[in-house]
Amino acid sequence: MKKAKNQRRNSSRTLSAIRTPKSEILLGAHMSIGGGVHMAIERARSINCTAMQIFVKNNMQWFARPLTKEEIRSFLNHAQHGELLSIFAHANYLINLAATNPQFHANSLRALSEELTRAAQLELPFLVLHPGAHLGAGEEAGLEKITKSINRVFARIPKVKTKIALETTAGQGSCLGEKFEHLACIIDNAREPDRLCVCLDTAHIFAAGYDLGSEKAVRKTFREFDRVIGLDRLAAIHVNDSKTARGSRVDRHEHIGKGQIGLDAFRFIMRERRFRRIPKVLETPKGKDLAEDVVNMKTLRDLL
């Protein structure tokens, strides 16, 4: 009985991808692009993801040769492309829009422009970005530098439709973005706020000190997000549990239910009607066989 039901689900998948019925949850994980960007699609679909996040190039390199037409085509025309109802990108970790070293800052602007362009070629709606680290310059100076940098990047690539999704951070070191107010400040002062949205990472906001310990607390935290940033800006949720304690400001992702956040927060996120169309993506440790993703996705689905 159960098997037949699953089969029916699978056979209707292509069609459902076109109709994107409200019942389909957008759940998946960050996927490696090893072997080419199109390989991420195969990895994600091999474990039934309906959403995925990818890097648009090696995430520890500043620059890369442009994507070839063939690479773009094999991604966009992949037979399973439509089965992923949400695909978005994450920027590389070297980019720091608040960098104090002029060379690093220049590299950051160029790398971000190039990654947005690559993401646009792959028709991805947004690129998740850590706002930046002020490296001692102070919060205010850092936020101003980030905002100006975003203005410059957008001015360089006026036709690129891929937005920047600013990610909430754990506030490790001098990293900005651990307060919702930081992201709101950047958005409010940016020249083109319509090109900005937000990605909320559960492990990060927990490490930053936000309370996710009970349904009541989670509701309060999201009310706060709505008041300060606005839920209409929320483009994606990184569903990660946290190895580290609330308020530790240390960013260590843990498998769902195995960390310190507890399942109440994930149950709320999975069940909340307003988040139904928001992709939920794991960034938890895993091996090549993706077994951990399978377990984490099952844990999350079971909360429905």
Task: Give residues in contact with Fe ion (CB under 5 A).
Answer: 201, 238, 251
Q: How many CB atoms lie within 10 A of CB 220?
A: 14
Pick from Zn ion, Fe ion, none: which does 241 bind, CB < 5 to 8 A by kind? none
Structure tokens at 53: 């996040």
Helices (H), ranges, the chain? 2-11, 13-19, 37-46, 69-76, 102-121, 139-156, 180-189, 202-207, 215-228, 263-271, 291-302
User: Distance between terminal CA atoms of the chain?
Assistant: 21
Work out how close the CB of 281 gets to Zn ion at its nearest, in angstroms, rounded to a whole number.
10
User: Of 250 and 294, which has the nearer Cβ to Fe ion?
Assistant: 250
> How far is 80 from 70, CA to CA, in rounded Å?
17
Comparing CB distances to Fe ion, the nearer of 114 and 178 is 178
CB 283, min distance to Fe ion, A:
5
CB–CB of 221/186 below 8 Å?
A: no
Task: Output the smallest distance, CB 53 to Zn ion, in A.
Answer: 9
251 binds, among Zn ion, Fe ion, none (CB under 5 to 8 A by kind): Fe ion
Minimum CB distance to Zn ion smaller for 83 or for 206: 206
Asked whether 202 and 247 are in contact (CB, 8 A), the reply is no
Q: What is the DSSP-derived secondary structure letter of residue 23?
A: T
Reference 164, options 142, 145, 192, 188; nearest CA is 192
Site size toward Zn ion, by CB under 5 A: 1
Question: In whole angstroms, how close is the CB of 265 to Zn ion at the nearest point?
Answer: 18
167 or 178: whose CB is closer to Zn ion?
Answer: 167
Work out how close the CB of 114 gets to Fe ion at its nearest, in angstroms, rounded to a whole number.
21
- x/- mask, Zn ion, residues 167-196, rule CB under 5 A, reads x-----------------------------
CB of 90 to Zn ion, least distance (A): 6
304 burial level (CB within 10 Å; 0-12, 13-18, 19+): exposed
Location of structure tokens 């956040």: 261
Closer residue to Fe ion (CB): 118 or 253 = 253
**If contact means CB under 5 to 8 A according to the sort of partner, which of Fe ion, Zn ion, none does residue 114 touch?**
none
Residues 74-113 that bind Zn ion (CB under 5 A): none
**Closest CB to Zn ion among residues 166, 212:** 166
With b meaning 16 or more CB within 10 Å and e meaning fewer, what string describes 76-99? eebeebebbbbbbbbbbeebbbbb
Position closest to Zn ion via CB: 167
Enumerate residues 142-171 that contact Zn ion by CB under 5 A. Answer: 167
**Contact set with Zn ion (CB under 5 A):** 167
